[in-house]
């Protein structure tokens, strides 16, 4: 047996791409050489997300070449496969490929953008920043689709529409060919036309396009550790609210970054000089003219045009001029003519004028020449009344906000022997209901609650049989929004709403183990007591608790509406005593059930001061809302 000359290309045993940005192409260039004794004819095959160029070729003995291996994953995770080097001698050599796709730190500076209220035909502009805090160059583009799957579905629908259109046009063309056989050669033109349109659909990047929003730049490149400004121009076409959601598809991020945009289009502010016009009875074939005034109270030109009514009596009434422009602060007199004799009530709705908010109604009373001036004065008075009301409401809101910020002080009663200093009194005076502003963001609690919510959403999705991809997309958006909010809050410094003296009082109160601070009289006052009976006597916390624990001296509880203030221990002991009496046969089981304690509640302290007693010392200061023991 003999072995002939063989070709050997010195590929490495493995290629490790390491951690690479998701949805971005990472290339490893291999310099290989034929170290065998014959020409090497080979082909390379592997699986997605890996690719190789060239995938086949030949290499003479001693010659070398470059082979480019690429890694591009659309989802995060670890990937590995074997690249098979197949020789023309039916020999296979395996090269192990490994790569990990990860999300890089690319984000928007805001997820929600509120545009300024903008007049129709005018434009307002806002800016959004895309931050690239990674060490990689990333490409981006703006689209209206949240996922790649939605894009592919949209393209497939477009192709289906093209196929139906092609079938219809082909059928029409074939029918024409039966009448004129000379046009059959033009069938290839029709087919190439639809092939070109299909290729156009495949090549479409589906960049975001809108009649009211313009994004610049809509695609581009962001260099490492830099930011890109995105200008968003808002040009409303109608007086209405607009809401749009855009998605920034970034290389390096598995999920697209959502941007929710809201804006309000404002139209001309125009009003009629009167709400109704009474013209009474008129003779047949006689023409009567009446005048109403159109006032422009807004800041832009008001272009108006009359749409003729299609009702029974609408054609009998004409307006002059039927179209025109009213400048800001200007007036336009409109004459109304009619000719008929009968009782008539005709209503012209806001659809009769494109932007008119009021309604002209014809009824039975006559109009005189003084209506114009009277109605203009009426408009001015209404506008002034509206402005006064807005100013009043604004002042009330400011007063309410100011009152919310002010601290409500409670009374403080000092029952200790040696007394408490003014700092502690000031701290206690804030009462148990005061909420101290945190000086740091509770990251752990927020993250835990977010994950709890995500788990609940996933469970509800499984119960309602919602598509798993939709559920994961919603969960990903929630996590991304929380992450952005927490990153913004990380560098912020939060100030406490306690003064320096109140902070000192809080520290001293927590450190003083010889005193107890309790709320009394439903939290309206705070009481400072000595902890031990040896120091405070009958006013001490220890003495008061001993009185509570003496069951025979426990007083009735009016608030609990029970016969006795019973502790948990007293309830258990009383139940055991009654059961022993039943065992001796002294009482029946029914009587025992009636005598057993059914409920217990926490012991209460009696004899604490009320804020209505004049001898209570009242001090002002601040508190954190918790009891210090």
pLDDT tens digits, one per residue of 247-291: 999 988 888 999 999 998 888 877 776 666 666 666 656 666 767
In sequence order, the 6+-apart residues with CB closer than 8 A to the CB of 195 are: none
Q: What is the largest CA-CA distance in the chain?
A: 127
Both tokens assigned to 593: 């059930």
**CA dist list (Å): 403 to 397, 406, 428, 495, 570:** 10, 5, 20, 19, 47
In sequence order, the 6+-apart residues with CB closer than 8 A to the CB of 480 are: 111, 255, 257
In the chain, where are the structural domains located? Answer: 9-102, 270-277+284-340, 408-424+501-614, 438-494
Mean pLDDT score, 320-345: 58
CA–CA gap between residue 104 and residue 102 (Å, rounded):
6
The CATH H-level superfamily of 9-102 is Immunoglobulins (2.60.40.10)
Are the beta carbons of 202 and 155 closer than 8 angstroms? yes
Pairing, β 56-59 against β 40-45: antiparallel
Are the beta carbons of 419 and 529 closer than 8 angstroms? no
Given a cut of 50, whether residue 558 has pLDDT beyond it is no
**CA dist list (Å): 201 to 154, 167, 204, 205, 211:** 10, 18, 5, 9, 21
Given a cut of 60, whether residue 172 has pLDDT beyond it is yes
CA–CA gap between residue 121 and residue 309 (Å, rounded):
28
User: 9-102 with 270-277+284-340: one CATH topology?
Assistant: yes
Q: Helix, strand, or coil here: 80?
A: strand
Are the beta carbons of 316 and 338 closer than 8 angstroms? yes
Q: Phi and psi at residue 531, in whole multiples of 5°?
A: -75, -40
CA–CA gap between residue 60 and residue 37 (Å, rounded):
9
What's the pLDDT score for residue 94?
92
Are the beta carbons of 169 and 192 closer than 8 angstroms? no
Which bin fits 59, alpha (ψ -120 to 50), beta or left (φ > 0)?
beta
Q: Percent helix, strand, coil in the chain (nearest 5)?
A: 30, 30, 40
Are the beta carbons of 542 and 533 closer than 8 angstroms? yes
Are the beta carbons of 484 and 107 closer than 8 angstroms? yes
What's the pLDDT score for residue 333?
65
Q: Using only C-alpha atoms, what is the Rg of the chain? A: 42
Q: Tell me: the pLDDT tens digits for 428-460?
A: 888 777 777 777 777 788 888 888 888 888 888
What's the pLDDT score for residue 403?
53
CA–CA gap between residue 352 and residue 370 (Å, rounded):
26
Long-range CB contacts for residues 183-191, cutoff 8 Å, separation at least 24: 190/166
Look up the pTM and report it.
Answer: 0.47
pLDDT range class, residue 373, cuts 50, 70, 90? low
In sequence order, the 6+-apart residues with CB closer than 8 A to the CB of 274 are: 292, 360, 371, 375
Given a cut of 50, whether residue 555 has pLDDT beyond it is no
**Strand locations in 72-123 (E):** 77-87, 92-102, 106-108, 112-114, 118-119
* CA 249 to the chain's CA centroid: 19
Burial class (CB in 10 A: 0-12, 13-18, 19+), 171: exposed
pLDDT range class, residue 334, cuts 50, 70, 90? low
Percent of the chain with pLDDT over 90: 14
Check whether domain 270-277+284-340 has CATH 3.40.50.800, yes or no: no
């Amino acid at each position: 047996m003999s072995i002939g000359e063989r070709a050997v290309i010195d590929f490495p045993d493995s290629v490790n791409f390491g951690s690479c940005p998701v949805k971005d192409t990472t290339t490893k260039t291999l310099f290989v050489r034929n170290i065998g004794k014959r020409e090497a004819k080979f082909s390379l095959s592997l699986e997605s997300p890996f690719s190789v160029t060239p995938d086949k070729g030949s290499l003479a003995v001693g010659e070398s070449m470059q082979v480019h291996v690429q890694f591009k994953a659309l989802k995060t995770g670890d990937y590995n496969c074997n690249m098979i080097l197949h020789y023309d001698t039916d020999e296979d050599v395996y090269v192990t490929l490994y790569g990990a796709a990860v999300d890089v730190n690319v984000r928007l500076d805001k997820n929600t953008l509120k545009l300024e209220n903008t007049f129709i035909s005018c434009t307002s502009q806002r800016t959004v920043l895309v931050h690239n805090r990674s060490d990689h160059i990333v490409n981006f583009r703006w689209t209206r689709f949240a996922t790649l799957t939605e894009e592919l579905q949209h393209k497939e629908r477009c192709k289906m529409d093209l196929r139906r259109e092609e079938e219809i046009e082909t059928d029409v063309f074939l029918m024409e060919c039966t009448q004129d056989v000379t046009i059959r050669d033009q069938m290839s033109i029709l087919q190439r036309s639809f092939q070109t349109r299909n290729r156009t659909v495949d090549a479409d990047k589906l960049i975001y396009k809108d009649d009211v929003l313009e994004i610049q730049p809509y695609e581009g490149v962001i260099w490492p550790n830099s930011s890109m400004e995105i200008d968003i121009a808002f040009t409303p076409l109608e007086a209405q609210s607009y809401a749009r959601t855009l998605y920034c598809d970034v290389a390096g991020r598995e999920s697209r970054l959502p941007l929710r945009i809201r804006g309000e289009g404002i139209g001309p502010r125009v009003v009629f000089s009167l709400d109704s016009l009474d013209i009474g009875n008129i003779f047949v074939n006689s023409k009567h003219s009446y005048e109403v005034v159109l006032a422009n109270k807004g800041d832009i030109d008001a272009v108006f045009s009359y749409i003729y009514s299609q009702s029974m009596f609408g054609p009998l009434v004409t307006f002059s001029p039927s179209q025109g422009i009213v400048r800001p602060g200007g007036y336009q007199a409109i004459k109304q003519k009619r000719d008929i004799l009968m009782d008539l009530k005709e209503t012209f709705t806001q659809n009769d004028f494109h932007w008119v908010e009021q309604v002209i109604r014809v009824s039975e009373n006559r109009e005189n020449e003084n209506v114009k001036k009277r109605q203009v004065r009426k408009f001015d008075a209404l506008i002034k009344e509206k402005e006064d009301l807005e100013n009043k409401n604004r002042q009330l809101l400011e007063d309410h906000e100011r009152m919310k910020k002010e601290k409500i002080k409670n009374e403080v009663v000092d029952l200790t022997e040696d007394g408490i200093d003014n700092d502690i009194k000031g701290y206690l005076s804030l009462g148990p209901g005061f909420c101290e502003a945190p000086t740091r963001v509770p990251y752990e609690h927020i993250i835990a609650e977010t994950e709890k919510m995500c788990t609940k959403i996933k469970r509800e999705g499984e119960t309602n049989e919602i598509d798993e991809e939709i559920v994961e997309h919603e969960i990903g958006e929630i996590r991304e929004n929380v992450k952005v909010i927490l990153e913004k809050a990380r560098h912020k410094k939060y100030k406490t709403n306690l003064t320096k003296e109140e902070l000192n009082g809080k520290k001293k109160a927590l450190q003083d183990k010889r005193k107890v601070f309790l709320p009394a009289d439903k939290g309206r006052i705070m009481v400072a007591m000595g902890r031990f009976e040896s120091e405070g006597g009958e006013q001490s916390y220890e003495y008061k608790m001993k009185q509570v624990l003496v069951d025979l001296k426990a007083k009735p509880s009016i608030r609990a509406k029970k016969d006795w203030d019973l502790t948990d221990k007293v309830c258990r002991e009383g139940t055991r005593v009654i059961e022993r009496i039943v065992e001796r046969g002294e009482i029946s089981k029914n009587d025992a059930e009636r005598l057993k304690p059914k409920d217990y509640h926490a012991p209460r302290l009696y004899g604490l001061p009320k804020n209505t007693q004049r001898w209570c010392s009242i001090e002002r200061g601040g508190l954190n809302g918790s009891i210090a023991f």
